[in-house]
Amino acid sequence: LTNCMFAANSAGKYGGGLYTLEGAPTLTNCTFTNNSGRYGGGGIFNGGGAPTLTNCTFSGNSGNTGGGMRTTGSAAILNNCTFSANWSSHWGGGMYNEHGAPRLTSCVFTANWSIDSGGGGMFNYDGYPNLSHCTFTNNSGRYGGGMYNYSGTPTLANCMFIGNMAGDSGGGMYNRSGSAVLGNCTFSAN
């Protein structure tokens, strides 16, 4: 899919804009705006598989988990994607990753929020995401304004966390029962 727009769609369960299962679709220059998935993945829900997203934008999407995108058991590849002003009622305003190993390069998470729990920008549950040169700015959540890691081993290199806020703990990042590996990362004004 190239130069496609998914706007104002909704789903009673998952994937308001797009639902993919065990596939490897390629999306380039696509936009997901104001979509909602009741249980998760307002913009996209991906179960298994390995989709590749390049230069895609997620804005104003919502869901219970993963307002912008939810991945479960996925090896998704995201290059130069932007998540802005997405929200979730529980986990991962911008993106929610569960039991997967997505790879994100040069992605931006800004002004996303989770209302009840945490991971305003991104929430990782028992997964192994790999992030390089990603930026988290002005995201908010109860725990882990920028990122919340629960179990698993996320690896981050050359990432920046600036101006994120948590209502309880971990303005920039909150780690629980996991082993996050960080190299050359910056945390400022969280």
For residue 13, give the 3-state DSSP assignment: coil
Give the residue-averaged pLDDT of 179-184.
Answer: 96
Which DSSP letter does residue 97 get?
E
User: What average pLDDT does the chain have?
Assistant: 97
CB neighbours (10 Å) of residue 59?
A: 21
d(Cα 88, Cα 142) in Å, to the nearest integer? 12
- C-alpha to C-alpha distance for 146 and 94, rounded to whole angstroms: 10
Provide the percentage of residues in the chain whose pLDDT is more than 70: 100
Provide the pLDDT confidence category of residue 140 given band limits of 50, 70 and 90: very high
| CA distances to 47, 137, 169, 183 from 83, in Å | 19, 11, 22, 23
